[in-house]
């Protein structure tokens, strides 16, 4: 279908999807898109309940082992000082993830697919190379975090732990796609709940002072170190693979041939999905920071995941330390599965290659296993991986900002000027902070 034909169908007002998966095209059905007349046919259960799920899968990116390390370090060093930074970061992530979902819902295509259609062959391959490096860096943090969790829980060597994480996450990926995709979503959401329980338990054992937590909502800094930590939290708010993937998830949520709610309902439902999912992820991150501020403030050695777990165990007891390690393991398994899913979609959209999921798993897993085998300080490799992720953020966020404003793609659902300006401000802030973070790290000040 040409762009002009697509625009005409959009203007005529009809929503139904043809084709399969995220590559399907969008058309509109006047009886449902306008909100009048009868209810859309063949709804499965409650309309809102049928829409929820994709954002919870994407939200896993916000509670990966890298986030765990950053939040605990922030709380242990600066107490409640940077609570406000986490709140701002979460609000920005809500906007960006919704924009990605909106692009997928309205166009029926993923962000990588639209990029692949609009770029030259050379451009597509160059863009894919940087995106694949980002996928590898993403998996690096997640596999290392899981390997550390298995060593803490069972004493497994890091390399063997990494192999176990790779095997289990590959099994999880068998459920992705087609009629079992809803099951994949439910598994990831269940892991997200385990993460939540694992990381907030300590707050019930040693409750924080409510007034001190509220005091952290006042924007302020305390020296250059706190500014750098704030930059780390804000700059790493949005993971590139979460941006690419969310535009796919909203379409893969429905099996081929399954009836869907109309576009307006999908957009409304997606807003709720994003807010609930990222509220949960934000609560987990805030709980980690508050836990560290309340129970670990001033303790040494909390700048590594293992050190943080040891500090939690020392301060709150071995049971809480074990529960924390279980949460870390769930964080690794869910985030590495979602990261591989994103890598597969990037390859399919940009290169038009439908590679088996296990092959995508191997490509991103092998570098992480090499690091676990050869590195004496895997936590440092995790930090380097976060810097690489920072470099990749502009490549995802700038096209998303352009496309959601494009009338040819979005029709009457294009962003208004006020929202576009807000999006530009948020994107500019995140990109600027990542540039600062990369500069400070490369110059040895980070």
Bridge partner residues of 17 (DSSP)? 26
Bridge partner residues of 15 (DSSP)? 28
Closest to 327 (Cα-Cα) out of 228, 215, 190, 140: 190
User: Is the separation of the CB atoms in 159 and 31 below 8 Å?
Assistant: no
Closest to 144 (Cα-Cα) out of 336, 390, 344: 336
User: Is the separation of the CB atoms in 150 and 329 below 8 Å?
Assistant: yes
On the question of pLDDT at 177 being above 80, the answer is no
Q: What's the CA gap between 102 and 95, in Å, rounded?
A: 10
What mean pLDDT value characterizes the chain? Answer: 84
pTM for this entry: 0.84
Q: What are phi and psi of 352, to 5 degrees?
A: 60, 35
* Residue 400 structure tokens: 């998303």
The predicted structure's pLDDT at residue 48: 75
On the question of pLDDT at 15 being above 60, the answer is no
Domains of the chain, by residue range, sit at 51-442
Q: Give the residue, 201 or 11, on which the prediction is more confident.
A: 201
Q: What are phi and psi of 206, to 5 degrees?
A: -135, 80
Exposed, middle or buried, 410 (CB in 10 Å: 0-12/13-18/19+)? middle
DSSP string for 11-58: HHT-EEEESSGGGPEEEE-HHHHTS-SSPPTT--SSHHHHH-SHHHHH
What percentage of the chain carries pLDDT values higher than 90?
Answer: 54
Backbone torsion region of residue 433, taken as left when φ is above 0, otherwise alpha when ψ lies between -120 and 50, otherwise beta: alpha
Q: What is the DSSP letter of 416?
A: P
On the question of pLDDT at 425 being above 90, the answer is yes
Compute CA distances 248 → 304, 317, 342, whole Å: 34, 42, 9
Closest to 82 (Cα-Cα) out of 297, 350, 311: 297
Q: What is the pLDDT of residues 276-311, one digit of tens each?
A: 999 999 999 999 999 999 999 988 888 788 888 999
Q: What's the CA gap between 404 and 99, in Å, rounded?
A: 7
The predicted structure's pLDDT at residue 149: 94
**Unique residue bearing structure tokens 């949005």:** 238
Least confident of 17-31, 47-61, 121-135: 17-31
Q: What's the CA gap between 413 and 416, in Å, rounded?
A: 9
Q: What is the pLDDT of residues 44-75, one digit of tens each?
A: 445 677 888 999 999 998 898 888 888 898 99
CB atoms within 10 A of CB 196: 18
* Residue 381 structure tokens: 């490799």
**Unique residue bearing structure tokens 């999905």:** 273
Q: What's the CA gap between 381 and 379, in Å, rounded?
A: 5
On the question of pLDDT at 245 being above 80, the answer is yes
On the question of pLDDT at 441 being above 80, the answer is no
416 Cβ contact list (under 8 Å, min separation 6):
none
Q: Give the residue, 81 or 69, on which the prediction is more confident.
A: 81
377-402 per-residue burial string, b: 16 or more CB within 10 A, e: under 16 = ebbebbbebbbbbbbbbebbbebbbe
Where residue 226 falls among pLDDT bands split at 50, 70, 90? confident
Q: What is the pLDDT of residues 261-281, one digit of tens each?
A: 999 999 999 999 999 999 999
Q: Residue 198: enclosing H or E segment and its boundaries? A: helix 181-205
Reduced to 3 states (helix: H, G, I; strand: E, B; else coil), residue 368 is: helix
Where residue 231 falls among pLDDT bands split at 50, 70, 90? confident
The predicted structure's pLDDT at residue 446: 58
Q: Give the residue, 46 or 363, on which the prediction is more confident.
A: 363
The predicted structure's pLDDT at residue 236: 63
Q: What is the pLDDT averaged over residues 441-445? A: 69
On the question of pLDDT at 35 being above 60, the answer is no
Q: What's the CA gap between 110 and 209, in Å, rounded?
A: 44
Q: Give the residue, 259 or 283, on which the prediction is more confident.
A: 283
The predicted structure's pLDDT at residue 357: 84
Nearest-10 crossing angle of helices 378-403, 357-374 = 140
The predicted structure's pLDDT at residue 376: 74
Range 51-442: architecture per CATH = Up-down Bundle (1.20)
């Amino acid at each position: 279908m040409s762009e002009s034909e697509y625009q005409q169908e959009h203007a005529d007002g009809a929503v139904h999807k043809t084709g399969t998966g995220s590559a399907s095209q969008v058309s509109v059905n006047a009886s449902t898109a306008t909100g009048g007349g009868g209810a859309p046919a063949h709804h499965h259960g409650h309309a809102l309940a049928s829409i929820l799920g994709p954002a919870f899968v994407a939200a896993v990116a916000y509670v990966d082992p890298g986030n765990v390390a950053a939040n605990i370090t922030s709380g242990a060093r600066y107490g409640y000082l940077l609570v406000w930074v986490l709140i701002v970061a979460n609000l920005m992530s809500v906007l960006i993830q919704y924009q990605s979902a909106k692009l997928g819902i309205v166009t029926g295509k993923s962000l990588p697919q639209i990029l692949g259609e609009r770029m030259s062959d050379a451009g597509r391959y160059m863009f894919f190379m940087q995106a694949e490096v980002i996928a590898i860096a993403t998996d690096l943090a997640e596999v290392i975090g899981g390997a550390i969790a298995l060593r803490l829980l069972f004493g497994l060597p890091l390399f063997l732990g990494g192999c176990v994480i790779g095997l289990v996450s590959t099994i999880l990926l068998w459920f992705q796609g087609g009629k079992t995709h809803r099951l994949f979503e439910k598994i990831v959401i269940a892991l997200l709940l385990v993460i939540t329980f694992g990381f907030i338990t300590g707050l019930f054992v040693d409750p924080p002072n409510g007034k001190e937590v509220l005091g952290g909502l006042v924007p302020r800094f305390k020296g250059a170190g706190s500014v750098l930590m704030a930059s780390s939290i804000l700059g790493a708010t949005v993971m590139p693979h979460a941006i690419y993937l969310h535009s796919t998830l909203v379409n893969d949520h429905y099996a081929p041939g399954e009836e869907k709610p109309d576009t307006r309902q999908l957009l409304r439902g997606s807003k709720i999905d994003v807010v609930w999912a990222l509220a949960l992820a934000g609560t987990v991150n805030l709980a980690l920071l508050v836990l560290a501020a309340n129970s670990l403030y001033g303790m040494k050695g909390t700048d590594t995941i293992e050190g943080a777990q040891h500090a939690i165990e020392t301060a709150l007891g071995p049971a809480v330390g074990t529960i924390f390690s279980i949460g870390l393991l769930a964080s690794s398994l869910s985030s590495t599965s979602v990261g591989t899913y994103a890598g597969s979609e990037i390859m399919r959209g940009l290169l038009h290659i439908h590679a088996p999921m296990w092959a995508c798993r191997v490509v991103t897993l092998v570098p992480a296993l090499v690091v676990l085998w050869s590195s004496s300080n895997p936590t440092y490799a995790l930090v380097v991986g976060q810097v690489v992720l920072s470099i990749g953020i502009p490549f995802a966020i700038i096209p998303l900002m352009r496309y959601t404003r494009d009338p040819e793609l979005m029709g009457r659902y294009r962003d208004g000027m006020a929202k576009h300006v807000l999006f530009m401000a948020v994107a500019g802030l995140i990109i600027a902070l990542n540039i600062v973070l990369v500069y400070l790290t490369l110059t040895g000040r980070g």
